[in-house]
Structure 1
Amino acid sequence: MKILYLSQLAYQANGRRYCDEDIWLTARLRRDFDLAVCHPVDAVRLMGAFDGVVIRNSGPVIDYQREYGEFRAAAIAQQARVYPQLTGKADMIGKQYLLDLTAADYPVIPTYIDLDSLPTATGYVVKPQQGSESIGLRKVDRETLATIDLDGMLVQPLIDFQYEVSFYFIDHDFRYALYAPDPDRRWQLERYEPTAADLDFARLFIEWNDIDHGIQRVDACRTRDDRLLLVEVEDLNPYLSLDVLDEGTQDAFVQRFAESLRNYLG
């Protein structure tokens, strides 16, 4: 099978080295697949020569929004096999889902687009509806919030949380969890052993999303009263933090990844 692997190797992410992760992953996947790596803006031009397209550390879509839209449209029109599937309802199409999940009373950080619905809080987070990588995110008080143009923005109450935790899935199969014990150091991660209730929480959002084939990361925060609230469902190009894992877990992950690709591309 021939795979076009989308990565933005030169992207400089805070606290992470995208290129290292993709260099390691592609070296392992080449054992099972014919594979070529390209920048996401070149995908439309090249994908016709491949059996499938794998989106990995392709960087914030906001940096190439037009090209990403063209890629999605072309892939859907051509019925190309894209991994993850482009049927996802979460970050791959923006942050509207946070509003929808709030309205549907899911356990998510409450998210709004206007001031009238906002609960009283010690502070607020304002971020773009099409944002990622914390680009454009601001923490403000209520007085400052009233002066901000909220067109194209989301508003959330500032949550006092103990830590952030991420759950990593291949297809619907849970693989591992990591957490940041220090809230001020988001990418200083350690292994996390989830409880049955934790996994039920994460699977709620995996089942909600319409992806059968792909890697997804469910990010949550643990509140002071020990609840989990969803931060985001990264269903397009989640960074995997594979360097935090032991060798056995890394091997098991990439084996399951290759198995998932073979099953999907068939």
Structure 2
Amino acid sequence: MFKFLETFMVVYRTHSFSLAAQQLFITQPTVSNQIKQLESQLHTELFERKSRRESIPTEAADILYKRSAKILDDWHDINTEIKDLQTNEQSHVRFGISQTVSRIMFAKIANQISVSDPTIHYDVMVSNSEGVLSQLEEYKIDLGIIEKPLVTQNVRRTSIGKDQLVKAGAPTGTWITREPGSGIGYYTEQYFREADIHPDRLIHVNNSGLIRRIVSTGVGQALLSSKDVPTGVEVQTLGTAFIRDFYLLIRDDDLDDPLLKTVAEIIKLVNQL
């Protein structure tokens, strides 16, 4: 049942059985079979098959989607509590962080957690900013840390630090940037608009570390954190308009969770040191 719900949620978001299969690394017939079994158990149709490429959610699917994330989160909590009984782990947090956060901030957070409360156990998933928010909304993570100023219902966003973006690299006419949905991608597009830049060539790379390495070879330019510029690379400061915030994300219904409140305070402490 839980595997069926996970598959259902991906189909619901993509409106496509084939895209869901690609994201889940399973075959399309497997996706179709799981949805059919779920529909059979619920005695209702969840998707209207408009074409081979598009499946439109029904009203029943809308209701199920709103509840599925919470059901899966509760199931995860049950598994975690049972595992904790076996391993004596008392505190466990699932982090979702952006790639920039993973490169320049999270190591400090990990160290501070170890110093402040070594009984806290955690896992970390790295994605782009929109991916982190999506994981939080779907109860796949407990806390998110991103740099793109995303807003959504039922999620509290708190600034936990500042970061200066700079233009780095050789002005060859080539720009390297992240994929849509990422923080760097968002700010690069903003810079292009404000500076009226039309790159001769635009390269999208879904890994911040690789962008940094490409820039270091002289291929072109990119926006990078001032804390993440390779040694010897030409840098131009962009000013206060490109000072961005790092944001801590937490669901509204978790604001009073004692463990998450403790971890949030530890994270805020890191940026005061």
When you count helix as a share of all residues, which structure comes out higher?
2
TM-score in same-fold range (> 0.5): no
TM-score of the two chains, using structure 1 as the length reference? 0.27
